[in-house]
């Protein structure tokens, strides 16, 4: 292995990280215990690493798969010291807590990716939009609301119909209110308890796509194919790759924007950028995630390098050849709603064998014992020789599960 050196971080050649090494040199850390962490753990372990997960919840998907579980809040000083003692490098699966924890670890000379500063940008919609603008990537017209004066200015900014979004901690459509007219704005802000918000013009969407890029410490950039995403109630429901309604020029533009953002952020790791394709064909960035993304899960089964392999490679300084998609794929998200059959009293898992009898179905469940409506329990990726076959089988799987056609 040639150890890559990340600007501003410890020289990796001085303390090489490698699979199968004893002690710290063969162990990696993850902040966060969710399903993204679990799939990273699987990829890292498959390639010979041991993994420690820092997660306060005693029962979490990633910790259940990890070699070691440090049970503590993400910013707990003793827990971060433990992670530093155990692991040669640290990544995150969750953007909402660890920026300062990542920063602390990096300041102590630890190999950390993604960089804390980039995570901090992604945690805050205002910073995120400013970084889109700086990188020359178009985003929805918006106004920032922090004070009553901002509220009045935003009401007069010609953004209606609009969506009011909290600047921090939003996910899966939470922390968002649709605002049709200026007169509704004050009440909408009140309903969110007046946090810092972004008021965004509601755009006419033809479709939604996302791009996952990986950037190494040496600045090398690769990407997964552009994905086409369908949301239900603000939550991702279906991802198709290749994207059926995206031509080569549009895909190239999306990749160029995502690469520009990764460069502008001096990013190291896996970055997902979500885009809207407008009715008039224009491409507009929505938001980005400093980590693998739900829309990239198909890459586990359909590509020769998954988004989690890319996360691992960027973290340990391994080479980044271009990933190749070897099978067209459709991913269906499996939310807890599927566990609640109409008329049943108690939650009950869907009848998996019926779905698994279909060709090319890859079932992924995240080990969450309690099903709740809206909770991401797993996903299912259908691969096939052609995109038409993958779609046809995915539609059969959806029908068996009681999911809407797409
Ligand atoms: P995620 O789970 O992806 O983090 P989120 O809660 O952060 O979601 P967004 O991605 O900002 O929220 O919005 C969720 C969905 O709402 C989008 O995928 C899109 O369907 C719709 N949406 C958001 N902003 C706009 C907009 N400006 N115009 C039209 N539709 C929008
Ligand atoms: Mg989103």
How close is the Cα of 235 to the center of ligand 1, in Å?
9
Beta strands in 149-204 (DSSP E): 162-166, 176-179, 197-201
Q: Which atom of ligand 1 is nearest to the CA of 202?
A: 28
Cβ–ligand 1 contact at 385 (below 6 Å): no
Instruction: Output the tens digit of pLDDT for each of the chain's 406 residues.
Output: 344 444 445 444 444 799 999 999 999 999 999 999 999 999 999 999 999 999 999 999 999 999 999 999 999 999 999 999 999 999 999 988 789 999 999 999 999 999 999 999 999 999 999 999 999 999 999 999 999 999 999 999 999 999 999 999 887 778 899 999 999 999 999 999 999 999 999 999 999 999 999 999 999 999 999 999 999 988 999 999 999 999 999 999 999 999 999 999 999 999 999 999 999 999 999 999 999 999 999 999 999 999 999 999 999 999 999 999 999 999 999 999 999 988 888 899 999 999 999 999 999 999 999 999 999 999 999 999 999 999 999 999 999 999 999 9
Pocket-testing residue among 234, 277, 288, 376, ligand 1, by greatest number of atoms within 8 A of Cβ: 234
The beta-carbon contacts of 17-20 under 8 Å, at least 24 apart in sequence, are 17/88, 17/89, 17/111, 17/316, 17/317, 18/316, 19/47, 19/48, 19/49, 20/48
Cβ–ligand 1 contact at 232 (below 6 Å): no
- At residue 253, the pLDDT reads 98
Cα 351 to Cα 237, 354, 390, 404: the distances in Å are 19, 6, 21, 17
Of all protein residues, the one whose alpha carbon is nearest to atom 3 of ligand 1 is 172
- At residue 12, the pLDDT reads 46
Distance CA 141, CA 296 (A): 27
Cβ–ligand 1 contact at 208 (below 6 Å): yes
Cβ–ligand 1 contact at 95 (below 6 Å): no
Cα 309 to Cα 210, 216, 220, 303: the distances in Å are 18, 12, 15, 10
- The structure tokens 């200026």 sit at 182
Cβ–ligand 1 contact at 279 (below 6 Å): no
- At residue 8, the pLDDT reads 44
- The alpha carbon of residue 260 and the mean position of all alpha carbons in its chain are separated, in whole angstroms, by 18
- At residue 397, the pLDDT reads 98
- At residue 126, the pLDDT reads 97
Q: Is the peptide bond before 398 cis (omega within 30 degrees of 0)?
A: no
- At residue 236, the pLDDT reads 96
How close is the Cα of 339 to the center of ligand 1, in Å?
26
How close is the Cα of 234 to the center of ligand 1, in Å?
6
Cβ–ligand 1 contact at 209 (below 6 Å): no
How close is the Cα of 211 to the center of ligand 1, in Å?
15
- The structure tokens 């993304």 sit at 293
Domains identified in the chain and CATH numbers: 23-122 (3.40.50.20), 141-201 (3.30.1490.20), 205-400 (3.30.470.20)
């Amino acid at each position: 292995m040639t150890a890559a050196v990340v600007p501003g971080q410890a020289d990796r050649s001085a303390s090489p990280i490698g699979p199968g090494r004893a002690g710290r040199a063969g162990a990696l850390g993850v902040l966060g215990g969710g399903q993204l962490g679990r799939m990273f753990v699987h990829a890292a372990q498959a390639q010979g690493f041991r993994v420690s997960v820092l997660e306060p919840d005693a029962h979490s998907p990633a910790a259940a798969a990890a070699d070691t579980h440090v049970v503590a809040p993400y910013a707990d000083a003793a827990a971060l010291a433990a992670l530093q003692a155990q692991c040669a490098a640290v990544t995150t699966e969750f953007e909402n807590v660890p920026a300062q924890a990542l920063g602390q670890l990096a300041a102590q000379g630890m190999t950390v990716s993604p960089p804390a500063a980039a995570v901090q940008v992604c945690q805050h919609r205002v910073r995120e939009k400013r970084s889109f603008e700086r990188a020359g990537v178009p985003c929805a017209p918006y106004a920032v609301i922090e004070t009553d004066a901002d509220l009045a200015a935003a009401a007069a900014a010609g953004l209606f119909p609009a969506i009011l979004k909290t600047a921090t901690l939003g996910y899966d459509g939470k922390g968002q209110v649709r605002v049709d007219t200026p007169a509704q704005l004050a009440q909408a802000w009140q309903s969110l308890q007046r946090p810092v918000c972004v008021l965004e013009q509601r755009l006419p969407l033809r479709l939604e796509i996302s791009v996952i890029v990986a950037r190494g410490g040496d600045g090398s950039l690769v990407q997964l194919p552009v994905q086409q995403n369908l949301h239900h109630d603000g939550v991702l429901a279906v991802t198709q790759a290749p994207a059926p309604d995206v031509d080569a020029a549009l895909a190239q533009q999306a990749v160029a924007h995502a690469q520009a953002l990764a460069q502008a952020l001096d990013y190291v790791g896996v970055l997902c950028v979500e885009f809207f394709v407008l009715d008039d064909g224009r491409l507009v960035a929505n938001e980005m995630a400093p980590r693998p993304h739900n829309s990239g899960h198909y890459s586990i089964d359909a590509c020769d390098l998954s988004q989690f392999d890319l996360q691992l490679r960027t973290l340990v300084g391994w080479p980044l050849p271009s990933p190749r998609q070897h099978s067209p794929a459709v991913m269906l998200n499996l939310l807890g709603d599927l566990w609640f059959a109409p008329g049943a009293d108690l939650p009950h898992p869907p009848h998996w064998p019926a779905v698994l009898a279909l060709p090319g179905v890859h079932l992924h469940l995240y080990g969450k014992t309690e099903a709740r409506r809206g909770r991401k329990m797993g996903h299912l990726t259908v691969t096939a020789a052609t995109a038409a076959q993958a779609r046809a089988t995915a539609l059969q799987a959806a029908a068996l599960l009681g999911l809407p056609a797409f």
